[in-house]
Structure 1
């Protein structure tokens, strides 16, 4: 039997190697725990950059091009968030392969453009948010110039770029016919120039930049607009109601292949458009008159501006109602604040997003018995107390009486959506109605299909 000629490793060396390995494993574990703790500590801190939110649905080729263009042409701090509406073209596998370059969520079903954007907004950590169609290519200076425009005036609410394919004032003529020639065109267009910034009445949703603080005042997109179309028009109205303006940064150009996901609907597109237009009209009636009236009143009443700044869109919601959010807690809304209801609540609670509920400052708990007593008081027809009751005006609108003010309910959708139709209606003469000072109008709440 031959003996091995290999020399045995000295015991002291083996022990030293064992100690090194143990020390390494200990260091890895300690590093993991330190990183985990740092993550917990910084969870609520905002990212000093832009969260780029990209909804996607079965257009993997365009999504890849879009993400690559962002990486190639964006120098400022950003994060990419892709929300996929249950695509079946391999989008999920592609996103998983990006190895942390992109944060993403694959939804269980198609929640449409609004639903995907909302999930992205919930996930966003940036101090700014940018909504971007997946069928776009961004270019040099695109984000720099849009942010410069947005930061030039605190009253600017949203900024959009110009492009080659869109409806409205953001459409410009281009000199290229091949996408390969587009970057040169964009480079010449995207020379920073504040003289080319233009205030407009409407921005389209293919690319929208806004501050996080504005989102906290306005909230989520309305998921009552199914699949796509008109949700951006709806958001424009809500931004302007709070007194903010919409601006096109004409020194920012991005290429748009053109509504690829929507076009893929084929014959279904007409039905989707009709349904969403109907939802828009039912919700707003004549929104342009409403925006005009609010603009005039805000200029005349500084106290009104302060209320809008404090409550955001909740300033257009009624008092004397119960609301609930994702965690199931019921809040009683009264006096401009929210109070958690203790005990079993048997009334109707309107479902809102958590971002909406948090706008009302918190107050002390209130028992369900006390809420029920207040509810019954508002339902009682006898007596002279008008608070919490409705009035039908000769102009065809309903009014809600709140804290000595009459608040115009802008549409039947708002009347039914806040369960105000169940309240007793008091008949007043024209002189009596005109004698009650005007409060803020009441608009419908946003419809959500997800827990947000």
Structure 2
């Protein structure tokens, strides 16, 4: 397909044994008011009949079938590289988008050529009228969190705003930005690959905006087990990789005690409350890849100073306030 024949948006959905979510997800996608898009589903070796269901029920979907689970990051990269559209939407299987979702994201993206990421208003399926995410924020301890997580969907949440990045569970990216800063880091497998991408985009001085009209209902960990050892290991490992690749120098020297303190508290909580060592194992695994991540750090596109980057990070809050960011409504 030539670039002239390409739709304006390629919409990518990564699936791994998400058969139960595919019908509501894809049905909502094809009810969009904005129609200049095509859909690629990348299946990561599902064994639940997902691929056959897509072929029969949604033949208009382009299906890429992997023989094993390559992870969320690598699978999205596959579809990005297999397409040419100027705009790239990513969407989790455990979502249902409103009819105006994609059109709102495209309209926001096209208002400003320096906007490289658009974040949706993600609402929790398990708590009606409650926000799951309105973009990504990162504080000066390097802790990433979902903006407005757990807050009611109030009039204040209907105001567009600048954010640090977009949650890749329902986001729109500009291909020109990805061509410049690179795709999702496949080593992350899943979790926080969107945070790493947001850091790299910010270093290159791309903007991210929250689009409240782009509404999506999200099950949250619908195809992964919340609190599982695997998830906690990957979160622990990937957090350290994000910091190794992106945290500004020299401020990392000044903030290292605080960063270490919060890491120790996170590991301690996992060991005491969840009786898991997965969070610790993930951090130890991250150290084993120190050299590789520092090489990738040197490859960043940097258009802003470390002082400007620190201004884009949120102030550090106390442990109780940080814990509230992750509380399940």
TM-score band, normalised by the shorter chain? 0.5 to 0.7
1:169-209 per-residue CA deviation (whole Å, 9 max, x = no partner) reads 2545249xxxxxxxxxxxxx9xxxxx832001232221111
2:152 to 168, 173, 184: 173
CA deviation after TM superposition for structure 1 residue 75, in Å: 3.1
**1:237 counterpart = 2:215:** no
**1:218 counterpart = 2:172:** no
8 Å CA contact retained: 1:170, 1:248: no
1:306-328 per-residue CA deviation (whole Å, 9 max, x = no partner) reads xxxxxxxxxxxxxxxxxxxxxxx
**1:150 counterpart = 2:109:** yes
- TM-score scaled by structure 1? 0.49
Residue 443 of structure 1 corresponds to which residue in structure 2? 299
Residue 81 of structure 2 corresponds to which residue in structure 1? 122
8 Å CA contact retained: 1:139, 1:253: yes
2:225 to 240, 258, 263: 263
8 Å CA contact retained: 2:244, 2:293: no
8 Å CA contact retained: 1:414, 1:444: no
- TM-score scaled by structure 2? 0.66
C-alpha distance in 1 between matches for 2:106 and 2:250: 27
Residue 215 of structure 2 corresponds to which residue in structure 1? 253
Residue 159 of structure 2 corresponds to which residue in structure 1? 196
Q: SS of the residue aligned with 1:262?
A: coil
C-alpha distance in 2 between matches for 1:285 and 1:151: 30
1:314-368 per-residue CA deviation (whole Å, 9 max, x = no partner) reads xxxxxxxxxxxxxxxxxxxxxxxxxxxxxxxxxxxxxxxxxxxxxxxxxxxxxxx
**Which one has the largest radius of gyration?**
1
CA deviation after TM superposition for structure 1 residue 119, in Å: 0.8
CA deviation after TM superposition for structure 1 residue 63, in Å: 1.8
1:422-445 per-residue CA deviation (whole Å, 9 max, x = no partner) reads xxxxxxxxxxxxxxxxxxx82379
Unpaired stretches in structure 1, ≥5 consecutive residues: 1-41, 176-188, 190-194, 291-410, 419-440, 446-452
2:42 to 83, 95, 105: 83
2:241 to 253, 259, 279: 279
Of the two structures, which has the highest relative contact order with CA contacts closer than 8 Å and spacing of 6 or more?
2
C-alpha distance in 2 between matches for 1:214 and 1:107: 27
When residues 139 and 287 of structure 1 are mapped into structure 2, their CA distance, relative to the original with a 3 A threshold, is farther
1:33-81 per-residue CA deviation (whole Å, 9 max, x = no partner) reads xxxxxxxxx5454514210000111111112211000112343211010
Matches within 5 A, 1:78-117: 78-98=37-57, 100-117=59-76
Residue 170 of structure 2 corresponds to which residue in structure 1? 207
8 Å CA contact retained: 2:241, 2:293: no
CA deviation after TM superposition for structure 1 residue 413, in Å: 4.0
When residues 264 and 74 of structure 1 are mapped into structure 2, their CA distance, relative to the original with a 3 A threshold, is farther
CA deviation after TM superposition for structure 1 residue 144, in Å: 1.4
C-alpha distance in 1 between matches for 2:176 and 2:102: 19
8 Å CA contact retained: 1:229, 1:273: yes
8 Å CA contact retained: 1:163, 1:170: no
C-alpha distance in 2 between matches for 1:277 and 1:196: 29
C-alpha distance in 1 between matches for 2:250 and 2:201: 12
CA deviation after TM superposition for structure 1 residue 282, in Å: 3.0
C-alpha distance in 1 between matches for 2:250 and 2:79: 29
C-alpha distance in 2 between matches for 1:246 and 1:256: 21
Matches within 5 A, 1:420-435: none
C-alpha distance in 2 between matches for 1:267 and 1:224: 18
When residues 152 and 257 of structure 1 are mapped into structure 2, their CA distance, relative to the original with a 3 A threshold, is same
8 Å CA contact retained: 1:46, 1:125: no
C-alpha distance in 2 between matches for 1:287 and 1:137: 41
Matches within 5 A, 1:403-422: 412-413=291-292, 417=295
